[in-house]
Structure 1
């Protein structure tokens, strides 16, 4: 990234924050700053769990607690332990809070109208299309990819969803016991690694690397939740796994896939994976791929296209 890219981001931030009125302590005429107003809106008429609010708004526990105490002092919200789980704290709006929520909702609608009304039809379409694209890319940039315990709750959730999708998409269904192994014990260093992609604190994808021989590894468990597809998460997972493969001293990566997984085959092809003869007896595989020369990509003067910061 060059200096002009950073400057463009900063210019965009300045224009947007000024235009939507978040620089004062009176957001939408509510008499409170944006942080409080947004939290009030996110609690919503149905209430919300504190941990969900923290993840959704990317707030640390201390700051979120201060905001919640402020809303409670104003008589807008109350909090208590969830009836079904004492570990979970739940927040609900009071009648006064629900009235304030409705007022914020109306004023937010008015703000949206004020942004669109001065524009011609063509300009309005361009602005809305640009907003949709910015929203999609901003969400994509907030996805975090990290190593995880393959036996953790998030990892199990991803793998179970992955198996369920294969069961639906494969012509003959899918039984993981008949497939080539990728047990949790095979996906922890130095035998391998398991990665989880999270969006708003929730797991939305996974990928694994399994060391299978001297300088040889295998890509396993590549999956992205349908709700998060189109954000480039699969690409980032693959790049991250390749980076870890190099760190493990591997020079060759292999993988197999089913003919029904067109998106996966396209992903591997555009990342330099060449189709090869079968290297295993996986009954669900119709295509086998291999990528060589991973270590050369980290040599002096070469460009590694690994995990993006």
Structure 2
């Protein structure tokens, strides 16, 4: 009977570890989406979201590996750390449920599995109970070497995301002598059903050219609406291309419907955007002075640029 129970606990530990690994993996698809979730729901500043997302993914990966190996360290500190993380997650889920509601993806499995806060709380409760069983009844691999391995693996694996997903430079690619004038007249043609409410040909604006079906465009739009929410004074504009049937899915994914935008089709769009999307231009009086992608687009840099007299 004791042998059978030991086998059951070994398997339980491995299953818990596998779930931790899967949770970490889904948060990297892509990692930016998880970062922006921390900005949106936890209200982290951008730099802390970048650090926190990588730290959390690394911790989940390390704990998953150690639990699969049944290595818990002295006084089963690995299991205790797992409980602490699960409890922290649960507090976040309660906060999310109370402030946003239950009809939202909590991000526990990234975009791979849509999970509401209430469902995720039930999942966490099951994980906590399973971890408590291991803490009380299962020793795992014991000894000095196992303890050293637990420390080395945790520190080593936790650091991996910072190298594999390095935090990008915040600076855009300023064009300097290569800046060029962009002709935005296609957005203001008299025959168009609607023209932008703001004159994008004057002043400083962030103008993003996006396809409604482009995954990276959706990430960029999601990020832009978070920046606009935080600082409404930033002038941001989206020029969208695609079939109207894809529009609602784009809004559902990005929550950017309130950002100023226009639809532009055909050669008019391609001549402005080029073939690589999203194309995010920093435009000053109709001159493209810098370019960003969705990764390097940085709110503080935009604010500094808008405030500068250059």
What's the TM-score, normalizing by structure 1?
0.29
Between Structure 1 and Structure 2, the one with more helix by share is 2
What's the TM-score, normalizing by structure 2?
0.29
Q: Which has the higher contact order (CA 8 A, sep 6+)?
A: 2
